[in-house]
Homo-oligomer: A and B are copies of this chain.
Amino acid sequence: MTSRIFTAGLVVIGDEILSGRTHDKNIAQVASWLQVQGIRLAEVRVVPDVIERIVDAVNVLRESYDYLFTTGGIGPTHDDITVDAVAQALGVSVVIHPDARAILEKYYADKGGLNEGRLRMARVPEGADLIPNRMSGAPGIRIGNCHLMAGVPHITAGMLDALTGTLEGGAPLMSETVGGYIPESEVSALLRDTEKAHAECQIGSYPFFREGKVGSNFVVRSTDSAALAACVRDLTDGLDEAGFAWQPGGVALSR
């Protein structure tokens, strides 16, 4: 049985990422969340705060994949233009969403009330629904297959949490990792041959350097658990035969 694969594209919006000033954390966060929903992140584009560039990226990715996500550019300042760009991409107007306005009025009631900048955060492409944000006032926005999220990672996390279980996904891509202080250049033939022998699986090899030693984690992925287990078994048998020590789960590290 082959099930349909659901895919998503992500547009990361912001000069601060392209200048290197801010280290993006949303790509990994959105990717991990999508995996749990049974949706595969197929492409990411990072674009500057320039409306035409956002429009182009949004249009290509929303048409190429089942779902589109954006992060960044939905705040109160002049450089927050994601709503305008998505409205332009979809060919709809920008309107004030009454529920968003009410949420912001309440949130800012004891913080000086609404002003021009804060009211910007109630603007949505016409026809959009809101994505609750329990971290701060301004909601995320959902229209068609597009999901507009915050740039600040912990606010994005709250919005993703609110979306959990609301998107149709396919069979989740399962993965199993084994790894150790194994130079990938000594097992490249084993990896290639094992992948070839298991058509329903992909094997990724991720080298690392740690405490002065080279090592690799090998990630086997499949939507079929039996195929996954058989591939991992062949791979670890091969590592055993070649005399390499490996550990289940691989060696923990961040890159």
Contact B16 A32 (CB under 8 A): no
Confirm or deny: A4 has a beta carbon within 8 angstroms of a beta carbon on chain B.
Answer: no
Closest residue to A255 on the B side, CB-wise?
A: B22
In the complex, how many angstroms separate the beta carbon of A201 from the nearest chain B beta carbon? 12
Q: Range of interface residues on chain A?
A: 35 or more
Residues 19-45 of A, flagged 1 when their CB comes within 8 A of B and 0 if not, give 111111101111111110000111111
Tell me if A213 is interfacial: C-beta within 8 Å of chain B.
Answer: no
**Among B30, B152, B186, B255, contact of A152 (Cβ-Cβ < 8 Å):** B255
Contact of A206 with B22 in the complex, beta carbons under 8 Å: yes
Q: Does A43 contact B47, Cβ atoms closer than 8 Å? A: yes
30 of the cross-chain contacts (CB-CB < 8 Å) are: A15-B204, A16-B204, A16-B206, A17-B28, A18-B43, A18-B44, A20-B28, A20-B31, A20-B32, A20-B33, A20-B35, A23-B28, A27-B46, A43-B53, A44-B45, A45-B46, A76-B188, A77-B192, A78-B188, A78-B192, A79-B191, A111-B183, A112-B186, A117-B185, A117-B187, A117-B188, A118-B185, A120-B188, A152-B207, A152-B208
